[in-house]
Amino acid sequence: MCTVSFIPVPGGALICSNRDEKIQRARALPPKWYQVNGTSLLFPKDPEAQGTWITMKPNGQMAVLLNGGWEKHIPVYPYRKSRGLVFLEICSADQLLDGFEQVNLDQIEPFTLIVFQDGVLQENRWDGRSKFSRYVSAKEPHIWSSVTLYEDAVIQRRKAWFNDWLTNNPEPTASAIQLFHQFGGEGDSSIDLRMNRRNEMLTVSITCMEWHQENACMYYSDLQSQEQFECRLDAFTLSETSS
């Protein structure tokens, strides 16, 4: 929920996300299918708040959450609901592209939401006061970093790493982008894609969603347990495997 990349690939798209969390927070449950407001959603679950930061629908629609809106904010507790639960409420809408517009965000902490639906890529931001939405090109790669953890200069450096990586990987795959999310950077663990700040705040998992016109898959790497999980949608039917 703190670093997200989007890459168009022939006949589809990749979305990859690093979750950066405090070490004392409970490990997320691996991805499985849940019913949320009558809608089937595939996601790893936060066992404490019961929410998530990334999800896929049976039709291949994908969405991912980052903490913070436009700039680092000072939390004003208590909030009405966790962002992870609000995210699920948004994603349970009939159309992902409509969920952000429809949801009530009064007393919700700022966040950024990336949505990919039917070849359309949308960036949504909530700054605690107002909503902002825009369409971004689904024909070009993009990378986002959470403003709550990374200053603008660092965000720009990470974009440069991403662009350099793309130059050296002109035909990226799901496995390749996951490796970038694990090893990308300059050797400074406080700002590298797999970050670690004094073993207090660190990247705990990497989730990659791969969509093609006839099938889709979610890959989940738990970096704490070293377990890997794969949930595949063949012809958009639901199945799960793990390793």
Q: Where are the domains positioned within the chain?
A: 3-242
**pLDDT tens profile 215-232:** 899 999 999 999 999 999
**Is residue 115 predicted with pLDDT exceeding 90?**
yes
Fold (CATH) for 3-242 = Penicillin V Acylase; Chain A (3.60.60)
For range 60-73, the mean pLDDT: 96
With b meaning 16 or more CB within 10 Å and e meaning fewer, what string describes 91-130? bbbeebbebbeebebeebbbbbbbbbbeeebbbbbbbbee
pLDDT range class, residue 233, cuts 50, 70, 90: confident
Report percent pLDDT > 70 for the chain: 96
Give the single-character DSSP code of 85.
H
Question: With contact defined as beta carbons under 8 Å apart, do 29 and 45 qualify?
Answer: yes
Partners of residue 113 on adjacent β-strands: 65, 124
State the chain's mean pLDDT as an integer.
95
**pLDDT tens profile 152-209:** 999 999 999 999 999 999 999 999 999 999 999 999 999 999 999 999 999 999 999 9
How far is the C-alpha of 149 from the C-alpha of 85, rounded, in Å? 21
- Prior bond of 75 cis (ω within 30°): no
- pTM here is 0.95
Q: Which residue has the tokens 């991912």?
A: 64
Q: What's residue 234's pLDDT?
A: 73
How far is the C-alpha of 119 from the C-alpha of 12, rounded, in Å? 8
